[in-house]
Amino acid sequence: MRILLLGASGSIGSQTIDVINKNPQDFTLVGFSVGKRTRCISYILKKHKEVRYIYLIDASKAKQYSKKYPHVNFLSSKDHQLSDLVDLVDFDMAVNALVGFSGLLPSIKVLEKNKKLALANKESLVVAGELINKLLDEGKGELYPIDSEHSALWKCLKVNDQGVKKMILTASGGAFRKLNRSELKDVKAAEALKHPTWKMGAKITIDCATMVNKCFEIIEAGYLYRYPYSKIGVMLHDESYLHSYLSYLDGSFRGEISKPDMRNPIKFALYQGNIPFSTQSFSSLTDLKGLHFHEFDPSRYPLVSLAKLVLLKKGTYGAVLNRANEEAVHAYLKDEIAFLDIERIIFKLMKEHKNVHNPSLDDLIRVDNDVNNKTHLIIEKIKKGEMRW
C-alpha cells in the first residue's frame, strides 16, 4: 500500500516511519510532510526511495533540499498548502499525524478523494465530526483511528458489539494528577510536559494535563462509533496499560491491555484492523491485578464536561473549543498565561459563542479564524494584567 504521511517529524509521524520500516513488504512511503523540523528528511529519504513529494514550511530549505535530492519535488508554504500533497501524490492511504487545526483540511481532502485515512489528528473530528461522518455516509473514503483508546475500542467492538452498555475511555490524569485544583495555580509548562506514562508532542501533553485531551477523545469516540454522549464514560487509570474498555449489559467487561506504545495502534490502523490482536474479558476492574483505577471526578477536570455540549449541540462548538484551546496552550507553553487560564479562556469563548448548525467547511474555517482573533485579544489582556474573569 502506498502511504502519504502528514506530520512525519512529530511523535506519531516518526513512529509511523518505524512501523513502515518494519513492514516494507506491505507499505511504500510515497510522500510526506514536515513542518519546521526538517532534520528527519535525509534519514527518511535514505530508506524510502519511492518518495516523490515532500512538503515543508521554509521555502529556502525546500530549495536547498531540491538541489540535494533532484528526483523529489519539495513544496513549501510559500507556494503551496500542505493539503496540496493530497492532490499531487499517488497514494492509497494517508496517515494524518498533524497536530491541531492544520490537520483538518488534509483529512477532508483525503476522504473527498475516496482514499483511506489513518487518523491520529483527533482535532479533525472535534472540529468537523459531522462533516467527516457525512462524507463517510456518502461512501467517500475510509477512516481508521490511531488514538490508543479508540484503537482498543475498535478491537473490542470487533469481538463483540452487541449489548454494549457503555464505552469507557481510560485516562492517566496527566502530569498534575497528584495535585488538587488549588495547587494548579502556579504550575509551569516545563512540569506539565512531564507526562507520567506516554512520550508525546508538546500540545497533546498539555492537553493531557488539562484533560482537554479526554474531552476531545469523548467527542472522537462519539463520531467514530456513533455512540451518544450518555454511553461514553471516563475512568482514571495510573499505568495506561488498559487502553479503554466496553461494559456490557450482562455485567461483563472487555478491554485491551498492553504496554503503552503508539506503534501498536498505528500498525493496527495501517493494516485497517486486518492483523491478529487480543482483547481481554473481565468481570471487574479489581480482577486486573497490578493495575490501579480511580473514579473520574468532573469537578477536578471541568473541561471534560464540554464534550457533552459539543456532542449534543454539534455545529461549530467543536471549532471554538479546538481553537481556543490551541492558542491558549501555545501561550501557556511560552509561559505567557497561567495553567488555569487555559480553561478560563475556553469556557469564556464557548459561553459567548452563537452556534451555527450543520456548518460547511467554510463556516468552520470562519469560526476558527474568529476564535483565533478573540483568543489572542484575551491573551494580550492577561499579559497586561487587564483581564477580569
Site for ligand NAP in 41-80 (CB under 6 A): 57
Site for ligand NAP in 251-270 (CB under 6 A): 262
- C-beta pairs of 17-26 under 8 Å, 24+ apart in sequence: 17/44, 18/263, 19/263, 19/266, 19/267, 19/270, 20/48, 20/270, 21/47, 23/267, 23/270, 26/1, 26/270, 26/271
Q: Which one, 45 or 204, has the nearer CB to ligand NAP?
A: 204
- Residue 318 makes contact with ligand NAP by CB under 6 A: no
Per-residue x/- track, 202-221, ligand NAP (CB under 6 A)? -xx-----------------
Of 93-101, 294-302, 337-345, 357-365, the segment contacting ligand NAP by CB under 6 A is 93-101
Q: Minimum CB separation from ligand NAP for residue 57, in Å?
A: 6
- 166 three-class SS: strand
Q: Which three cell numbers mark 216?
A: 476531545
Q: Which three cell numbers mark 204?
A: 497533546
Site for ligand NAP in 109-148 (CB under 6 A): 120-123, 147
Q: Minimum CB separation from ligand NAP for residue 249, in Å?
A: 30
Q: Minimum CB separation from ligand NAP for residue 234, in Å?
A: 16
Question: Which of 242, 212, 241, 221 is CA-nearest to residue 328?
Answer: 212
In the bound state, the residue with its beta carbon closest to ligand NAP is 10
Interface pick for ligand NAP out of 2, 37, 61, 195 (rule CB under 6 A):
37
Question: Which of 175, 168, 199 is CA-nearest to residue 189?
Answer: 175
Q: Which one, 236 or 262, has the nearer CB to ligand NAP?
A: 262
Of 5-13, 291-299, 307-315, 380-388, the segment contacting ligand NAP by CB under 6 A is 5-13
Helix and strand numbers (H, E) in the chain are 15, 13
112 to 107, 117, 134, 192, 283: CA distances (angstroms): 9, 11, 11, 38, 43
- Residue 35 makes contact with ligand NAP by CB under 6 A: yes
Q: Which one, 198 or 282, has the nearer CB to ligand NAP?
A: 198
13 phi, psi to nearest 5 deg: -60, -50
Of 98-106, 154-162, 251-259, 377-385, the segment contacting ligand NAP by CB under 6 A is 98-106
What is the amino acid identity at position 183? E
- Residue 34 makes contact with ligand NAP by CB under 6 A: yes
Which helix (H) or strand (E) element contains residue 40?
Answer: helix 40-47
The position carrying cell 503551496 is 80
Binding residues for ligand NAP, per CB under 6 A? 7, 9-13, 33-37, 57, 82, 97-99, 102, 120-123, 147, 198, 200-201, 203-204, 262
